[in-house]
Structure formats: structure tokens, C-alpha cells
């Protein structure tokens, strides 16, 4: 895939998916939704509600990719509760 930046939502989605082969079948519903929103936004980018939804789905996928790359070894809530118990 080219290093050029995409000029369409669908192009951006394709580039994102290609850059993250670690996405799994669990991510399929979000990816389908992202593609669907991209198609609609490429046809009519003035739809503010769809832009917001696209951003939400995209950010959730980015968080998921980050979580897979940096798995939490201890639950943050568990750690906080343990710290409170020591007080």
C-alpha cells in the first residue's frame, strides 16, 4: 500500500485495516460499521452525526489495538482496591 494519505473515508479505513493485522473476528462488527459509515460519508461528507459515529467507532478500534499491543497485567480497579486496603 502506498505511503500517500488517503483522500476518502473508505481509503482511510482500508489503510487502517491494512496497518493492523492484529484485528480479529471479534472486531468484525465494528469494522463492518466503520466501512458502512465510510461509504455513506464518502457519498455525503456533510452528515455531522455520521462523522461523529465514525469517529467513535474508529477511536474504539484504536483503543482496542492499543490494548492488544499493551495488555494490562493487573486490573486497575483491583490495584486501587488493594492500595486502599493497605491504608
Per-residue pLDDT of 57-73, as tens digits, reads 999 999 999 988 888 77
What three-state secondary structure class fits 71? coil
Q: Could you give the residue ranges of the DSSP H alpha helices within 20-73?
A: 28-43, 48-69
Backbone angles phi, psi at 21, to 5 degrees: -65, -10
The pTM of the whole model exceeds 0.85: no
pLDDT tier at 2, thresholds 50, 70, 90: low
Strands (E), the chain: none
Amino acid at each position: 500500500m502506498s505511503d500517500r494519505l488517503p483522500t476518502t473515508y473508505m481509503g482511510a479505513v482500508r489503510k487502517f485495516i491494512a496497518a493492523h493485522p492484529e484485528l480479529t473476528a471479534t472486531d468484525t462488527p465494528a469494522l463492518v460499521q466503520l466501512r458502512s459509515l465510510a461509504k455513506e460519508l464518502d457519498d455525503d461528507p456533510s452528515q455531522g452525526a455520521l462523522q461523529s459515529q465514525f469517529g467513535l467507532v474508529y477511536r474504539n478500534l484504536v483503543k482496542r489495538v492499543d490494548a492488544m499491543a499493551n495488555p494490562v497485567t493487573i486490573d486497575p480497579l483491583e490495584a486501587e482496591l488493594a492500595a486502599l486496603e493497605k491504608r
